């Protein structure tokens, strides 16, 4: 059976996104520079650069292999409306997912088909329905809960997240959207499965007990 996993970047003080993060103005609270520092490790990886057509070059090695594995294992993505709206304004025409993407929203909208295999489906029936559709679409591959923080929290509270993959970057946001808030009691239980050290982030993998 396919697994449900979270794969995200996290600041050292526990934030997924810096305060004031909107695509309208990257200078608000300097969020653009903070986000760039959080994700700098990923932008350097050869496989990621090739997939997003950023040009040749990039780092190879264990972190690059990890990025390749994450992208190749993913058969469907789930995200929230806020993440989709920010991405809609900035993603290239060939969106970077290359899978079905299920967007949790109250808005009614027809599926949005993009070149390269990405189709956005807009789900009005809640996180359980989105997960059911993602499982059907993913087949033997896995389902990534892409974000944002509130969507990840919903799936943690449902008890369906099998793995957490966190790239912990040595940057401090001082405010923003925390990953581990609004969790019901008792919270999900995980054990450490792998730690991979890189120069710009420590990559932590937890699996559900």
Q: What is the pLDDT of residue 64?
A: 96
Q: What is the pLDDT of residue 196?
A: 97
For CA atoms 165, 48, 131, 180, the dihedral sign is: positive
Closest CA to 202 of 165, 168, 163: 168
Beta strands 100-104; 112-113: pairing state: unpaired
pLDDT for 21-30, tens place per residue? 765 665 556 7
pLDDT for 100-141, tens place per residue? 999 999 999 999 999 999 999 999 999 999 999 999 999 999
Q: What is the pLDDT of residue 1?
A: 79
Task: Give the lowest-confidence range in 13-27, 55-69, 72-86, 147-161.
Answer: 13-27
pLDDT band for position 19 (50/70/90)? confident
CA distances from 78 to 45, 88, 118, 206 (A): 24, 15, 12, 19
What is the chain's mean pLDDT, rounded? Answer: 92
Q: Region 51-62: what's the mean pLDDT?
A: 90
pLDDT beyond 80 at 73: yes
Q: What is the pLDDT of residue 31?
A: 80
pLDDT beyond 60 at 79: yes
Q: Which two tokens stand for residue 147?
A: 């974000």
Q: Do residues 201 and 9 make contact, with C-beta atoms less than 8 angstroms apart?
A: yes
Q: What topology is assigned to 4-15+30-208 in CATH?
A: Dihydrofolate Reductase, subunit A (3.40.430)
The domain locations on the chain are 4-15+30-208
- Alpha carbons 169 and 171: distance in angstroms, whole number: 6
Q: Region 196-201: what's the mean pLDDT?
A: 94
Q: Do residues 121 and 111 make contact, with C-beta atoms less than 8 angstroms apart?
A: yes
């Amino acid at each position: 059976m396919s697994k449900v996993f979270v794969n995200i970047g996290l600041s050292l003080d526990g934030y997924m996104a810096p305060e004031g993060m909107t695509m309208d103005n990257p200078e608000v609270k300097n969020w653009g520079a903070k986000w760039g520092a959080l994700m700098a490790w990923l932008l350097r990886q050869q496989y990621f650069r090739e997939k997003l057509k950023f040009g040749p070059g990039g780092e190879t090695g264990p972190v690059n292999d990890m990025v390749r594995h994450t992208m190749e294992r993913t058969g469907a993505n789930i995200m929230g409306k806020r993440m989709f709206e920010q991405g809609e304004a900035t993603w290239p025409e060939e969106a970077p997912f290359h899978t079905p993407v299920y967007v949790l929203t109250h808005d009614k909208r027809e599926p949005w088909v993009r070149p390269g295999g990405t189709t956005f489906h807009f789900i009005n029936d809640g996180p359980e329905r989105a997960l059911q559709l993602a499982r059907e679409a993913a087949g033997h591959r896995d389902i990534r809960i892409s974000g944002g923080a509130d969507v990840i929290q919903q799936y943690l509270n449902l008890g369906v997240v099998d793995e957490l993959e966190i790239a912990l970057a040595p940057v401090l946001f001082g405010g923003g959207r925390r990953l581990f808030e609004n969790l019901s009691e008792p919270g999900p239980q995980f054990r450490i499965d792998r730690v991979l050290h890189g120069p710009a982030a420590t990559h932590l993998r937890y699996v559900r007990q």
